[in-house]
Structure 1
């Protein structure tokens, strides 16, 4: 029974959490008990800045053109999981990239440590993403160290969670926070700041699903609601090329509080991800159908 829980739940959630954090997508899960509203970022909430909203259209366009970047992030999901992630992702066409995920705390991290998987390599390919597990877990997979998660197989999981997870994995560009700020009606320019030696402009806003507007509002609202987000603050720092240098999201989920901070550099870097050996790979479909203890 424990193996089935790990196979069905823990690895998909843990890997998706890391990918969500770097891509700028809102996270689901968490077991924290804090229910108060997220603190607004920057200036007072509710004062939309038309010039800031216009500037973010350029940020979105520049990000799409860049096509790839090196990314590092730190994510906390209440008491369930905290982790660090670093690697490179490409979003020009099909998703591609390689990430190193290190579990730093929370209930899922304790479970992963028990399976000798305190860190994990994740590779995104056009047809699936692959997660590399430790030797202890591999012994439960007939010695195989990689698990393949086909996007279609994840999308077919019941309850809508699979479709949401697949959407997260396919959307690797750091566009979600930009689109949320554009749609929230609360975006404002906070000021100019230096981030890791780079001169940036800081934009911020506070998001609630019901307040979203614009052409993308329906899709963004659905994504937040599927993630259980009731309120979220988003801050981004943009360089003089219109590219994100830093992103911070802090939100209230139905189940608790989440936070995610990501840094971006080396836009346009060449990104590749090799397909793991078939003999050392187990398929998620196979694991879902496995019975026994």
Structure 2
């Protein structure tokens, strides 16, 4: 595998794994049987709320306090990547857990195929970074090391301002981010009552206009507004439609985000279930793991020796 290919795959995997975690914790119903439940295991009936803002403030609080959930969803990010993922994440103290990610199209899927991969990988998330299993194709080039580990500090150093922003998002994002986006929209409305995977939900919707994210038309504080605006601007998103479906326990069942990016369509849909589930993420064996920063040094050194 050439140096440029290793670097390109490694960087792409870093971004994809990071965005998957941020989106899942932060972005069309395809059916299924999983059901979102409260921590007591009940689906709940709740009290109908006429004030959408007040209702969403409750959702933000209760979902944020639930600490963990099983998550699955799909993501399309312009021409760069489309993927699906499933797993479980815990956000009680940073983001930890594991997600299986399958690339279904875009430039990233092409890069993975050219590198010998099958398009599917597992990402494990820890407080200080994450690791991605790149499979046998990578192991053949790295002496049996199929896992690439990414330190958030290294990503911040290698990626400059973008890397620093990614580090902050990965360490601080929680599933109530979609609710915060709706609160920031200033025009959030209750759409109606709908069934999502067998769960009775209330559907809320709003359009986030990045240029108008100001304190006077939202319930967010200045720091939250600034962080949200930067996240959207960095991706080239000018407007984003956010929809959430909430059960009777004020917990997210489904979240959808749609908009336009610099590279094309942005479309993310996530489903949440089994709140309070136990989440574990074991670090891969050291003998099968290479740090991304070290991998770059090795490949750059090999290229220098060959020239």
Is the structural similarity TM-score above 0.5? yes
Secondary structure of the 2:24 match is: helix
Structure 2 partner of 1:40 = none
Cα shift readout 1:134-189 (whole Å, capped 9, x = no counterpart): 11122122220111101111112244221222233224521211101101111111
Equivalent pair of 2:64/2:175 in contact (CA under 8 Å): no
Distance 2:170 2:162 in 1: 12
1:255 aligned to 2:263? yes
Structure 1 partner of 2:242 = 234
Structure 1 partner of 2:33 = none
Residues 113, 13 of structure 1: alpha-carbon distance in 2 compared, 3 angstrom cutoff: same
Residues 62, 71 of structure 1: alpha-carbon distance in 2 compared, 3 angstrom cutoff: same
1:284 aligned to 2:292? yes
Structure 2 partner of 1:87 = 87
Structure 1 partner of 2:7 = 5
Structure 2 partner of 1:104 = 104
1:17 aligned to 2:25? no
Aligned length: 270
> Shift in Å at residue 4 of structure 1?
4.2
Distance 2:109 2:144 in 1: 22
Distance 1:91 1:52 in 2: 25
Taking structure 1 as the reference length, what is the TM-score of the superposition? 0.87
Q: Find 2:279's aligned residue among 271, 274, 287.
A: 271
Bigger Rg, which one: 2
Identify the range of structure 1 (122-131 vs 196-205) with the bigger mean alpha-carbon deviation.
Answer: 122-131
Equivalent pair of 2:9/2:111 in contact (CA under 8 Å): no
Taking structure 2 as the reference length, what is the TM-score of the superposition? 0.83
Distance 2:156 2:187 in 1: 33
Q: For 1:190-269, what aligned pairs fall within 5 Å after superposition?
A: 190-214=191-215, 215=221, 216-269=224-277
Backbone CA RMSD of aligned residues: 1.8
Q: For 1:107-186, what aligned pairs fall within 5 Å after superposition?
A: 107-114=107-114, 115-186=116-187
> Shift in Å at residue 277 of structure 1?
0.7
> Shift in Å at residue 97 of structure 1?
0.3
Distance 1:199 1:209 in 2: 32
Identify the range of structure 1 (86-95 vs 247-256) with the bigger mean alpha-carbon deviation.
Answer: 247-256
Structure 1 spans left out of the alignment, 5+ residues: 26-48
Distance 2:292 2:184 in 1: 36
Identify the range of structure 1 (242-251 vs 282-291) with the bigger mean alpha-carbon deviation.
Answer: 282-291
Distance 2:118 2:175 in 1: 27
Equivalent pair of 1:185/1:211 in contact (CA under 8 Å): no
Structure 2 partner of 1:77 = 77
Equivalent pair of 1:22/1:73 in contact (CA under 8 Å): yes
Distance 1:213 1:54 in 2: 19
> Shift in Å at residue 284 of structure 1?
1.4
Equivalent pair of 2:78/2:261 in contact (CA under 8 Å): no
